[in-house]
Amino acid sequence: MCGICGEIRTRGDVRLSDFWEMTRSMQSRGPDSEGVFAHGLEHGSMAFGHRRLAILDQASTSQQPMIDNELGLGIVFNGCIYNFRELKSELQGKGYRFFSEGDTEVILKAYHAWGTDCVRRFKGMFAFALWERDGGRVVLVRDRLGIKPLYYTEGDGYFRFASSLPSLLAAGGVDRTLDPVALQQFFSFHAAVPAPRTILKSVKKLEPATILTIQPDGTKKTERYWHFTVGDRSGDRRLSEQEWSKAVSDAMLAAVDRRRVADVPVGVLLSGGLDSSLIVALLAKLGHGNVRTFSIGFESVGGQSGDEFYYSDIVAKHFGTEHEQIRIDGGEALGVLPDAIRAMSEPMVSHDSVAFYLLSREVAKRVRVVQSGQGADEIFGGYSWYPSFLTANDATRQYRDAYFDWQQDDLRKLLSDDVDEDHGTAFVESFFARTAATSAVDKALQIDAEIMLVDDPVKRVDNMTMAHGLEARVPFLDHEVVELAARMPSRLKVADGGKYILKQAARSLLPAEVIDRPKGYFPVPSLRHLRGEFLDYVRDVLNSPAARQRGLYRSEFIQHMLDEPEAEKSPKGHSRLWHAALLEAWLQEHAI
């Protein structure tokens, strides 16, 4: 897990002083070492940078940028290829010789052996840029589920990419104009802006499961190399519930096992919910002794508990893990808010961002790799609104009413610019029209797994863990698990309060008290109920000279929310005041 960046110019030279700024801005993603490779072209130049977090093969032979002079290839790579040893053995059988023990070199050899089709063989999370010395071609790739980020910007004669949006800004020369379509999507989709858009008009993100090829003359081509469709298959309809349950258990066991590969200890972020608890159970089944587990908790506010230690303690005791409760007071959460916001590649409104930031800060002092339970709700139908789709006739309307934090009429009250078009609804309509999923519930599961998952929980975990050089692995997003869940009948997922089949698969592994508990979240009550110093922080952000000069919001509606902080809530109970304040705070922290 690292930070990567690069710049390709079809004329002129890369300004290395600016390029070093871009590379060094990702120090937290790769605190162990850094490297830059620059190369002159016939009619331009290119440079590639890397910040390393050493998890596999900590020797210098795995430093990046990695150059294979024998093959004429180079690479910068962020992520982990979990099946790299199997691929390495296969490549050695083809006559390839290796000079390192990690997974980076395996990508180079695999590309030489199989071309861009090599990515279909990779099991893991990855974003990489690979270049050909002789042909001058550059290939950028993002993993199937978008676990690893890759942002880019381009202009007259240049193309620049990086693992984070702020890193692109650090090199200078990037237009910082807001994208009005993305702005609406940000408010509609709980801060998730679907790729390729970002909140900035000039910055894009490579879509998941995508190969972007850049030719020496600057022409580009994209290819989607993996698809999945939510919906049952006729050949699977004979499978019993018990057979589905076993298939889920087997797939998750393999996914957790793959994510043990490391040359450093691996821990678990244990919330006490079904998902992270199941990971602990599967590690125990695999014979992984002395598992280190970590939970975080905050003080209660407004009658809402700020921790789930009761359940995480049950799991830790049941499996004999080396468990740590990390207790955080509200004042400390407020103190790190600016740091957590600076760590966001894009503005993220979920209250648990600061929780993940603080948890990652403490966990990184103890281990360098953790497994985490993100993705289970989207893949196995765990959210409360999914059952309503079983009988829905209008999937778009049902999704909008269940999911959107802000409807178009709400945004007309908030935003200074006219809101003539409903870009949030338009995106959902377009997505549902082109997906192969047929029923309303399958359409909802498809958009959440393919779009919202990537740019909300997955991005949040990546940004907050990597802010402290901590690598997070998410077994529920193993692509084979996703493919299995996608073809499972929706009733087996959304029944009985959600994640029915996952609960059944867990019954032989976990205490019933953990499986049948009410659904929990990663609570930060102080941000859900804005009071005291937290409300003062929000007021200062929204009344600051920078906010007034920007004029993004209608002042009378902002004042209404500040006067009545609990008055404006989304359908899911999220604070709209915090939503507006978070975006403004993110823009200020990144000097936009």
Residue 59 predicted with pLDDT over 80:
no
3 state SS for 254-309: HHHHHCCCCCCCEEEECCCCHHHHHHHHHHHHCCCCCCEEEEEEECCECCECCCCH
Radius of gyration (C-alpha) of the chain in whole angstroms: 23
- Helix H or strand E segment including 117: none
Distance CA 345, CA 206 (A): 14
DSSP state of 207: P
Order the strands of the 266-269 sheet from edge to edge.
Answer: 322-328, 292-298, 266-269, 369-371, 471-473
Tokens standing for residue 418 = 């006219």
Residues 6+ apart with CB under 8 A from 227: 209
Residue 458 predicted with pLDDT over 60:
yes
Find out whether 106 and 100 touch, Cβ atoms under 8 Å: no
Find out whether 555 and 562 touch, Cβ atoms under 8 Å: no
Residue 560 predicted with pLDDT over 60:
yes
Shortest CA distance to 471 belongs to which of 56, 113, 63? 56
Percent of the chain with pLDDT over 70: 95
Q: Which residues pair with 158 in a beta bridge?
A: 9, 155
Distance CA 462, CA 107 (A): 22
Predicted confidence at residue 527, as pLDDT, reads 65
Which range among 69-73, 115-119, 423-427, 572-576 shows the weakest confidence by mean pLDDT? 572-576
Predicted confidence at residue 43, as pLDDT, reads 72
Residue 574 predicted with pLDDT over 90:
no
Residues 6+ apart with CB under 8 A from 286: 253, 256, 257, 260
Residue 139 predicted with pLDDT over 70:
yes
Q: Which residues pair with 301 in a beta bridge?
A: 304
Distance CA 590, CA 592 (A): 6
Distance CA 459, CA 344 (A): 9
What is the dihedral angle through the alpha carbons of 103, 356, 205, 110, rounded to the nearest 10 degrees?
Answer: 10
Predicted confidence at residue 203, as pLDDT, reads 98
Residue type, 162: A
Residue 5 predicted with pLDDT over 70:
yes
517 CA to centre of own chain: 27
Report the number of secondary-structure helices (H) and strands (E) in the chain: 25, 17
Which range among 131-135, 256-260, 553-557 shows the weakest confidence by mean pLDDT? 131-135
Which range among 34-38, 52-56, 107-111, 271-275 shows the weakest confidence by mean pLDDT? 52-56
Residue 562 predicted with pLDDT over 70:
yes
Banded pLDDT at 495 (limits 50, 70, 90): very high
Residue keyed to tokens 């993004």: 552
Residue 117 predicted with pLDDT over 60:
yes
Q: At what angle do helices 352-363 and 330-342 cross, to 10 degrees?
A: 90
Find out whether 376 and 382 touch, Cβ atoms under 8 Å: yes
Find out whether 416 and 551 touch, Cβ atoms under 8 Å: yes
232/302: higher pLDDT: 232
Residue 42 predicted with pLDDT over 70:
no
Collapsing DSSP states into helix, strand and coil, what is residue 398?
Answer: helix
Shortest CA distance to 268 belongs to which of 501, 476, 73? 476
Predicted confidence at residue 310, as pLDDT, reads 86
Which range among 163-172, 189-198, 320-329, 482-491 shows the weakest confidence by mean pLDDT? 320-329
Residue 301 predicted with pLDDT over 60:
no
Collapsing DSSP states into helix, strand and coil, what is residue 76?
Answer: strand
- Write down the H helix ranges in 81-195: 84-93, 104-114, 165-170, 180-188
181-207 confidence digits (pLDDT tens): 999 999 999 999 999 999 999 999 999
Residue 528 predicted with pLDDT over 90:
no
Find out whether 72 and 32 touch, Cβ atoms under 8 Å: no
Banded pLDDT at 113 (limits 50, 70, 90): very high
Collapsing DSSP states into helix, strand and coil, what is residue 174?
Answer: coil
Find out whether 371 and 474 touch, Cβ atoms under 8 Å: yes
Quick one: 131 exposed, middle or buried, by C-beta within 10 A (0-12, 13-18, 19+)? buried
User: What is the average pLDDT across 442-466?
Assistant: 96
Which range among 35-44, 254-263, 402-411 shows the weakest confidence by mean pLDDT? 35-44
Predicted confidence at residue 289, as pLDDT, reads 78
3 state SS for 18-74: HHHHHHHCCCCCCECEEEEEEEEECCEEEEEEEEECCCCCCCHHHCCCEEECCCCEE
What's the CA angle centered on 211, arms 205 and 217, to 5 degrees?
A: 90
Distance CA 249, CA 135 (A): 46
Predicted confidence at residue 317, as pLDDT, reads 95
Residue 58 predicted with pLDDT over 70:
no
Mean pLDDT of the chain: 93
User: What is the average pLDDT across 126-150?
Assistant: 96
* Phi, psi angle pair for 386, to nearest 5°: -65, -45
Tokens standing for residue 433 = 């029209």
64-105 confidence digits (pLDDT tens): 899 999 999 999 999 999 999 999 999 999 999 999 999 999
